[in-house]
């Protein structure tokens, strides 16, 4: 199925994990991809090589999403290369786990700058481009925000991340309302505990396996689980869906067993 034939997608944080999974899924279905990364250049280039092996074009672009000027330059470069942007996935994120009492302000600010302000920059530039574009089918573009179930539940030692994710979900609904008259869809995905390289920063393999057994679905989510949900929400099949939040968590929010 080639749902994205002839379309162009920009994905932030696309060198690893969920972002890479979404980039490859959209490329498999026909999209050309702007692969954004901040520091993992080799990984981003490997993603681009896989995209090109699928017969699609890939543009690798380094930008820290917290740097507004860098994000602006990336969008200008992407439009110069491809002419338009049909899909933008605001995925880039990071976490520094500290208790509120012990948190260093520079760490709190960095987490918010990446997860909240970086998402704002990405979505604003996407919206500004899409409202200028002609309709492709029934839409001028699709914006997807990758948030987290931590916007809904509040584990300890994650206050800045939890706060930022809750904020971007509310922002996403606001943006969806503003862009509906322009026929630009905006939706949100809340992944649960997903098996990504970043999880190894906080837990051992043994701890991850034990934790997975406590989830209602009995396993961690795979990157492919989130990519499949993302692909649906940015497809024409989701044309009448905007301002929605889709939880992809194997029942995590319902409660661990």
Residues designated catalytic: 161
DSSP summary character for residue 221: B
Per residue in 165-186, pLDDT (tens digit) is: 999 999 999 999 999 999 999 9
Q: Tell me the pTM.
A: 0.97
Q: Please, which residues have CB within 8 angstroms of residue 2's CB and are 6 or more apart in sequence?
A: 29, 30
Average pLDDT over every residue of 111-122 = 98
Backbone angles phi, psi at 29, to 5 degrees: -100, 15
Per residue in 29-53, pLDDT (tens digit) is: 999 999 999 999 999 999 999 999 9
pLDDT band at 55 (very low <50, low <70, confident <90, very high): very high
- What SS3 state is found at 139? strand
pLDDT band at 202 (very low <50, low <70, confident <90, very high): confident
> Which CATH class name applies to 8-250?
alpha beta
Range scoring the smallest mean pLDDT among 90-94, 149-153, 180-184, 197-201: 197-201
Which residue spans within the chain are E strands per DSSP? 8-11, 32-37, 58-62, 87-90, 141-146, 184-191, 245-248
Exposed (0-12), middle (13-18) or buried (19+): which is 98, by Cβ within 10 Å? middle
- Of 110, 222, 219, 133, nearest to 183 by C-alpha is 133
pLDDT(257) > 60: no
90, 172, 186, 187, 241 from 246: Cα distances, Å: 15, 12, 12, 8, 11
Q: Which residue has the higher pLDDT, 199 or 247?
A: 247
Q: Which pLDDT score is estimated for 256?
A: 62
Average of per-residue pLDDT values in the chain = 96
């Amino acid at each position: 199925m080639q749902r994205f034939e002839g379309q162009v997608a920009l994905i932030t944080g696309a060198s690893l994990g969920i972002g890479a999974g979404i980039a490859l899924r959209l490329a498999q279905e026909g999209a050309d991809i702007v692969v954004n990364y901040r520091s993992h250049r080799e990984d981003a280039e490997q993603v681009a090589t896989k995209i090109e092996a699928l017969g699609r074009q890939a543009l690798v672009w380094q930008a820290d999403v917290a740097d507004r000027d860098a994000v602006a330059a990336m969008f200008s470069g992407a439009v110069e290369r491809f002419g338009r942007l049909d899909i933008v996935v605001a995925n880039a994120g990071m976490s520094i786990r500290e208790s509120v009492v012990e948190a260093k302000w520079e760490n709190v600010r960095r987490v918010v700058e990446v997860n909240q302000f970086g998402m704002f920059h990405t979505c604003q530039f996407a919206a500004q481009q899409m409202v200028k574009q002609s309709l492709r089918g029934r839409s001028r573009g699709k914006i997807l925000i990758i948030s987290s179930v931590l916007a809904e539940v509040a584990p300890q030692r994650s206050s800045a991340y939890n706060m930022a994710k809750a904020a971007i979900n509310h922002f996403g609904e606001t943006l969806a309302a503003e862009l509906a008259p322009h026929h630009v869809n905006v939706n949100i995905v809340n992944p649960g505990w997903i098996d990504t390289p970043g999880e190894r920063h906080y837990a051992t393999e043994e701890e991850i396996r034990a934790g997975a057994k406590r989830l209602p679905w009995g396993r961690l989510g795979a990157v492919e689980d989130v990519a499949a949900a993302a692909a649906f929400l940015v497809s024409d099949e989701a044309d009448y869906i905007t301002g929605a939040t889709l939880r992809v968590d194997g029942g995590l929010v319902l409660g661990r067993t």
